[in-house]
């Protein structure tokens, strides 16, 4: 009775609601569902629809078989389409009224018996690899008589004579099989490759992966979000062939250097272009050249990202013209999906510690070595057994001494929280993500924090107009503590913790104040690091707004116009105060700095796209225009001699002395026109033509414009008739492309003559004047990179195994380089286009579904090699490029045509001279103090019997790896999942400049414990040379500082468990992650994946007190409501 009453009320409600259907678009027309499953009951389908929408089902108990197993295959379908599927061939009917669905039974219908008399068929359903297909639909065609396969892929069904079985499963082609007189069947399903064809984002559009003619790598959001990282670029390590990721610093929010297929420029930047939701990100960064978020990615929450595409060859990158030479990374953020509003929380908490602590000498070991060095150099010893000097205590009182690393390192927390709200109707969809990320550094007094809010809305204004908007607001605030990843120096906290001798106490034993400098004779002027980690104030802040809006007009069928506008604005500040406890603050009576940077860019793009398919011809034509305006403003102020530390950096007026303020402003404009034609013939012959014309204000009056074309073709061989019988090959495509891209990564005003301000004294008074700041060059133009790529894509066994290979050759011409000019011109150099270099390499990628049963295993492996070489620099005399450390006299790399970029030209060591004969056979060095038995000998390259740096140096190291690789494994069993990421590099050398201070067996500073194995009379076979107080400068200019940086790293291991369905939750998963779990390497420093000289292509592979990498352990949860 209760059910009959409920049914009557529903019918009355149905009649009333029909009156509104003529006045407005119904809910059913605006609501879509995506359901793909082969093993659901009718009741489960009802529950899923009710959970994801506002629909409510009404039915009598006998009107529908709720336990009947059904298969549903629906992508963005209305509810009626789904109900048609599950009730097809039955006597069950439904009625939809707004948000009510009434299920009834047609009593006049003549149901087909499910237990007909006939033959009984047993069978098994398998995929192309022989694995059983679980939950496949088996239906006697034309009836409702059916079943599904069990856990072993088997089934039993009684059918009529002459029956035809229809077998279907998601992702496979539906198969009709006549039964005939068979009683047992083995059925093999083939994958529906068209249904599985992946869609990838390309410049100004999307394409089917099968239609690509270029080289594009993809990374999905789940790969990024399994890692405890502050910015997504850190998560690219080892994920895509040809992409090398180097951490310039392990500090929180630190800089990452990304190279796609090597470096193309010597001086003009080698970073790829980042495009977020179609908007090129160029503004941003931090104030003062250091601090929080030094690249545009630190302000972007990795949890916002849906996918990334890495464009590598000219066919893919030339659409970005003058900004595409270094590759392009397209970032697509998460957008709203039609359906019931969902709320998701993703969060984790964990801790970090230094992955590797360097083994340094203790106080007793250090004092013994210093005394040995004093005796070697003919000096009195510094430490005796009878000393009463508190600064040089007796040997018996030294013990372990001060462990300076323990004084600055700590176990630090890390946590991340993301709340997202997603949903919408057919006309309006939205996605809102609020996030907070906090990471304290493993070095005390350092942290990185980011708060962000992203809102994406997609609205269908009318049948022909769509509007999409994106808005991101973020704030980064960090304490950087003098560790900014820009290199070392004796004021670095990392340097001080290693070089400061363990015999030096934290506090002066006589005054109780901090010891401020290493006071030992012959030592480095390294400061006490403890005051810096306790009292230094160094705060960086970045506020950023990234906004864009797209209007899409559907003009006619296949023709759309997209008008886009956007803005990227950031305000960065850095505030520093060094109080009197620190070394510099003590000498200056307090130092305060305030630095600021305001960056903004504004863009407009207009893109017209026409897509048409006529018979066997498919055409995709795109033309567009773009305007980009960028502006940067900077400023800095410094004051010292403060009356009190209480003001800090908040009141520079409290300082008695001021440095001259510094301000600057720059702006540039880029105007572009571009187009692309994609033509596909018979779904197997693919052609792409792309062109872009760019006009930039950065270049000379005679070269404002340049054109960047590309041509590409591909042949899908597997679509040919002669391949039809080779069914194990599911995809075989050969690709080839050629094109030209450019590089405009130079400062504004590099071409015209600039006027600078200068100070000079007149009559004892300092005056300010204006004069020429550079030598103009109206012919300055782009660096141009021509790229040739040949590739092959292979998929076998219904794409269960996929293989991709690419060979490329890149040649960059018109290199921008400062050429020396006669001083009579009034200048020393002029920036000109001169010279060329090349990169060539091979990339291999392999992915496979190794196991597909209850226990699943998917693996992806990528391997790549790149070889670069400077071809020519006319008029240039090969020389060393800059100085890495002035006080150590350690020079930079060597640049010479015919050699790779970044190599080191130094003396080559020839081992410790252990015997009289070895000393006699060795070439003599200029300083006789270091030319005795027990000292290091060097290779006499020119054979003149004496060592001269200018004559005997040779190429001793190359920072470019022989190859890099990445290996990803994903496992799952029932509700458990496990992922393991491994990456590595082989053949890259590291210029470990820290060895110039910690491995030279000198009183310069504390030494690594390994130098205990030094030459002495009692240890004549020692690995290291004998001890000195002074420093052997030849060691600092030799391969003594070069090490093999090859490594294999278990980058990330994540174990998760997804709970069965919980009534009040949509989903629940917990997981544990270990980041940077294990590194196998012979490198002696903190981290072999290092480049502490920032993003310079001339100073690669340098480790100068780089911030150590942290090992992280986290626990996380994903909750869906």
Interval 538-550: pLDDT, tens: 998 999 999 999 9
Burial 610-643 (b: 16+ CB within 10 A, else e): beeeeeeebebbbbbebebbbbbebbbbbbbebe
Contact 286, 597 (CB under 8 A): yes
What pLDDT does residue 1014 have? 96
**Lowest-confidence segment of 423-432, 488-497, 551-560, 1045-1054 by average pLDDT:** 488-497
Instruction: Name the nearest CA neighbour of 234 among 1048, 1110, 1103.
Output: 1110
**Is pLDDT of 786 > 50?**
yes
Distance CA 966, CA 982 (A): 6
**Lowest-confidence segment of 152-161, 245-254, 398-407, 984-993 by average pLDDT:** 245-254
Instruction: Name the nearest CA neighbour of 414 among 1070, 1056, 1114.
Output: 1114
Using DSSP's 3-state secondary structure scheme, residue 395 falls into helix
Instruction: Name the nearest CA neighbour of 1111 among 1056, 1055, 1049, 1057.
Output: 1049
Rounded to 5°, the CA angle 396-401-406 comes to 160
Transcribe 776-792 into DSSP letters: --TT---EEEEEEEEEE
What pLDDT does residue 106 have? 52
- Residue with tokens 């990100």, as numbered in its chain: 281
Contact 284, 544 (CB under 8 A): yes
**Lowest-confidence segment of 316-330, 483-497, 976-990 by average pLDDT:** 483-497
Instruction: Name the nearest CA neighbour of 292 among 700, 604, 570, 639.
Output: 570
What pLDDT does residue 49 have? 86
Look over the chain and give the mean of its residue pLDDT values, rounded to a whole number.
Answer: 86
* 260-267 average pLDDT score: 90
Residue 550 token pair: 């797209």
* 338-346 average pLDDT score: 88
Confidence of residue 59 (pLDDT cuts 50, 70, 90): low
**Lowest-confidence segment of 211-220, 285-294, 340-349 by average pLDDT:** 285-294
Residue 1039 token pair: 């391969």
* 59-86 average pLDDT score: 78
All domains in the chain, ordered by first residue: 2-105 (3.55.50.30), 119-190 (2.60.40.1120), 200-337+410-874+979-988+1045-1120 (2.40.170.20), 879-959+989-1044 (no CATH)
Residue 1116 token pair: 């996380």
What pLDDT does residue 114 have? 36
What pLDDT does residue 3 have? 46
Encode pLDDT of 900-952 as tens digits.
999 999 999 999 999 999 999 999 998 888 999 999 999 999 999 999 999 99
Distance CA 1025, CA 981 (A): 41
What pLDDT does residue 561 have? 96
Encode pLDDT of 1004-1023 as tens digits.
889 999 999 999 999 999 99
DSSP 8-state code for residue 929: G
Helices H / strands E in the chain, number of each: 16, 59
What pLDDT does residue 375 have? 93
**Is pLDDT of 221 > 90?**
no
Residue 873 token pair: 């620099």
What pLDDT does residue 6 have? 38
* 716-744 average pLDDT score: 92
Confidence of residue 19 (pLDDT cuts 50, 70, 90): very low
What pLDDT does residue 547 have? 94
Most confident of 484-498, 760-774, 908-922: 908-922
Distances (CA, A) of 785 to 97, 294, 323, 778: 62, 27, 11, 21
* 715-729 average pLDDT score: 90
Distance CA 1100, CA 883 (A): 13
Residue 506 token pair: 């934290």
User: pLDDT higher for 31 or 936?
Assistant: 936
Using DSSP's 3-state secondary structure scheme, residue 608 falls into strand
Contact 525, 544 (CB under 8 A): no
Confidence of residue 299 (pLDDT cuts 50, 70, 90): confident
Confidence of residue 372 (pLDDT cuts 50, 70, 90): very high
Percent of the chain scoring above 90 in pLDDT:
49
- Residue with tokens 């009959």, as numbered in its chain: 4
Distance CA 746, CA 322 (A): 12
Contact 750, 802 (CB under 8 A): no
Encode pLDDT of 552-570 as tens digits.
999 998 899 999 999 999 9
| Cβ-based neighbour number of residue 766 at 10 Å | 9
**Lowest-confidence segment of 44-53, 135-144, 339-348 by average pLDDT:** 135-144
**Lowest-confidence segment of 15-24, 257-266, 517-526 by average pLDDT:** 15-24
What pLDDT does residue 777 have? 85
Q: What share of the chain is helix, strand, coil (3-state, %, to 5)?
A: 15, 50, 40
Distances (CA, A) of 244 to 247, 281, 322, 979: 10, 20, 22, 21
Contact 932, 956 (CB under 8 A): no
What pLDDT does residue 14 have? 37
**Is pLDDT of 392 > 90?**
no
Three-state secondary structure string covering 181-248: CCCEEEEECCECHHHHCCEEEECCEEEEHHHCCCCEEEEEHHHHHCCCCCCHHHHHCCCCCCEEEEEC
**Is pLDDT of 482 > 70?**
no
Helix (H) or strand (E) holding 4: helix 2-17
**Lowest-confidence segment of 336-340, 420-424, 480-484 by average pLDDT:** 480-484
* 376-400 average pLDDT score: 86
Instruction: Name the nearest CA neighbour of 143 among 124, 165, 125, 127.
Output: 165
HSE of 248, CA atoms in CB hemisphere, 13 A: 27
What pLDDT does residue 8 have? 39
């Amino acid at each position: 009775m209760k059910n009959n009453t409920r049914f009557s009320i529903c019918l009355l409600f149905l009649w009333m609601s029909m009156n509104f259907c003529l006045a407005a678009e119904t809910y059913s027309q605006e609501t879509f569902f995506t359901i793909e499953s082969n093993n659901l009951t009718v009741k489960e389908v009802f529950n899923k629809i009710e959970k994801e929408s506002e629909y409510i089902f009404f039915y009598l108990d006998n009107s529908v078989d709720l336990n009947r197993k059904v298969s549903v295959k629906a992508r963005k379908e209305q509810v009626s389409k789904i109900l048609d599927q599950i009730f097809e061939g039955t006597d069950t009917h439904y009625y939809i009224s707004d948000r009510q669905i009434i299920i009834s039974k047609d009593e006049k219908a003549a149901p087909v018996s499910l237990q007909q008399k006939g033959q009984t068929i047993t069978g098994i359903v398998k995929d192309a690899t022989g694995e059983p297909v679980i939950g496949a639909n088996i239906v006697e065609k034309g009836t409702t008589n059916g079943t599904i396969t069990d856990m072993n892929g088997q089934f039993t069904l009684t059918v009529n004579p002459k029956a035809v079985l229809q077998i279907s499963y998601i992702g496979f082609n539906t198969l009709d099989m006549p039964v005939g007189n068979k009683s047992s069947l083995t059925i093999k399903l083939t994958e529906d490759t068209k249904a599985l064809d992946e869609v990838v984002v390309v410049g100004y559009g999307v394409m089917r992966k099968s239609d690509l003619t270029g080289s594009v790598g993809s990374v999905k959001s789940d790969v990024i979000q399994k890692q405890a990282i502050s910015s997504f670029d850190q998560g690219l390590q080892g994920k895509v062939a040809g992409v090398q990721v180097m951490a310039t610093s392990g500090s929180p929010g630190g800089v990452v250097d990304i190279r796609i297929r090597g470096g193309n420029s010597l001086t003009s930047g080698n970073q790829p272009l980042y495009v977020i939701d179609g908007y090129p990100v160029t503004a941003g960064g931090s104030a003062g050249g250091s601090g929080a978020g030094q690249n545009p990615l630190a302000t972007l929450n990795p949890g916002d990202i849906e996918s990334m595409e890495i464009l590598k060859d000219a066919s893919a990158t030339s659409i970005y013209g003058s900004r595409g030479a270094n590759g392009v990374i397209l970032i697509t953020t998460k957008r709203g999906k039609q359906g019931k509003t969902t709320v998701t929380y993703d969060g984790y908490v964990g801790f970090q510690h230094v992955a590797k602590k360097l083994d340094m000498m203790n106080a007793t070991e250090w004092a013994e070595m210093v005394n040995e060095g004093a005796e070697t150099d003919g000096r009195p010893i510094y430490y005796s057994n009878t000393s009463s000097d508190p600064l040089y205590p007796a040997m018996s009182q030294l013990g372990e001494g001060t462990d300076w690393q323990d004084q600055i390192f700590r176990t630090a927390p890390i946590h991340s929280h993301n709340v997202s709200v997603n949903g919408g109707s057919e006309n309006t969809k939205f996605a809102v993500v609020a996030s907070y990320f906090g990471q304290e550094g493993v070095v005390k007094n350092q942290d990185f924090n980011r708060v962000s809010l992203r809102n994406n809305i997609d609205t269908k204004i009318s049948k022909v107009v769509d509007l999409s908007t994106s808005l991101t607001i973020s704030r980064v605030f960090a304490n950087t503590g003098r560790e900014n990843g820009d290199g070392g120096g004796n004021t670095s906290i990392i340097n001080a913790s290693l070089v400061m001798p363990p015999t030096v106490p934290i506090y002066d034993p006589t005054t109780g104040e901090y010891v401020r400098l290493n006071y030992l004779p012959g030592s480095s002027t390294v400061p006490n690091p403890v005051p810096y980690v306790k009292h230094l104030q160094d705060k960086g802040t970045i506020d950023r707004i990234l906004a864009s809006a797209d209007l899409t007009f559907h003009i006619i069928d296949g023709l759309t116009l997209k008008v886009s506008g956007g803005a990227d604005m950031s305000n960065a500040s850095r505030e520093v105060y060094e109080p009197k406890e620190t070394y510099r603050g003590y000498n200056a009576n307090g130092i305060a700095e305030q630095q600021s940077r305001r960056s903004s860019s504004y863009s407009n793009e207009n893109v017209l796209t026409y897509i048409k398919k006529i018979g066997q011809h498919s055409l995709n034509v795109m033309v567009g225009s773009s305007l980009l305006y960028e502006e940067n403003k900077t400023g800095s102020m410094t004051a010292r001699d403060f009356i009190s530390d209480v003001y800090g950096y908040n009141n520079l007026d409290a300082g008695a002395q001021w440095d001259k303020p510094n301000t600057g402003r720059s702006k540039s404009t880029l105007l572009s026109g571009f187009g692309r034609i994609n033509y596909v013939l018979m779904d197997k012959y693919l052609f792409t033509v792309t062109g872009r014309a760019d006009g930039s204000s950065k270049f000379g009056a005679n070269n404002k414009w340049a054109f960047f074309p590309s041509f590409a073709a591909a042949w899908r061989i597997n679509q040919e008739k002669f391949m039809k019988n080779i069914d194990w090959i599911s995809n075989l495509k050969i690709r080839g492309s050629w094109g030209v891209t450019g590089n405009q990564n130079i400062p504004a005003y590099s071409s015209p003559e600039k006027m600078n301000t200068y100070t000079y004294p007149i009559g004892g008074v300092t005056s300010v004047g204006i004069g020429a700041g550079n030598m103009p060059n109206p012919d300055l133009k782009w660096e141009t990179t021509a790229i040739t790529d040949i590739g092959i894509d292979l998929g076998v066994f219904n794409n269960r195994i996929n293989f991709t290979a690419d060979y490329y050759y890149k040649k960059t011409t018109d290199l921008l380089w400062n050429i020396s000019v006669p001083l009579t011109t009034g200048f020393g150099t002029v920036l000109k286009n001169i010279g060329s270099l090349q990169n060539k390499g091979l990339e291999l990628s392999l992915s496979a579904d190794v196991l597909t049963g209850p226990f699943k295993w998917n693996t992806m492996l990528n391997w790549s090699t790149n070889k670069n070489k400077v071809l020519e620099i006319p008029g240039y005399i090969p020389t060393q490029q800059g100085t890495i450390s002035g006080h150590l006299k350690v020079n930079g790399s060597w640049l010479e045509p015919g050699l790779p970029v970044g190599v080191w030209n130094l003396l080559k060591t020839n081992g410790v001279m252990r015997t009289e004969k070895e000393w006699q056979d060795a070439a003599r060095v200029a300083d006789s103090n270091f030319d005795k038995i027990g000292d290091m000998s060097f290779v006499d390259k020119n054979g003149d019997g004496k060592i001269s740096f200018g004559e005997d140096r040779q190429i001793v190291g190359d920072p470019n790896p022989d190859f890099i690789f990445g290996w990803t494994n994903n496992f799952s069993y029932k509700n458990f999942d496990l992922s393991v990421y491994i990456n590595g590099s082989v053949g890259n050398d590291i210029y470990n400049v820290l060895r110039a201070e910690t491995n030279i067996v000198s009183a310069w500073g504390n030494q690594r414990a390994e130098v205990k194995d030094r030459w002495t009379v009692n240890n004549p076979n020692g690995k290291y040379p004998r001890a000195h107080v002074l420093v052997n400068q030849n060691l600092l200019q030799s391969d003594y500082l070069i090490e093999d940086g090859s490594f294999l790293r278990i980058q990330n291991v994540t174990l998760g468990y997804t709970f069965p369905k919980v009534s009040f939750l949509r989903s629940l998963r917990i997981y544990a992650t270990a980041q940077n779990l294990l590194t196998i390497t012979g490198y002696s420093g903190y981290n072999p994946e290092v480049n502490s000289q920032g993003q310079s292509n001339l100073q690669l592979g340098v480790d100068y007190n780089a911030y150590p990498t942290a090992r992280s352990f986290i626990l996380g949860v994903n909750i869906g409501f």
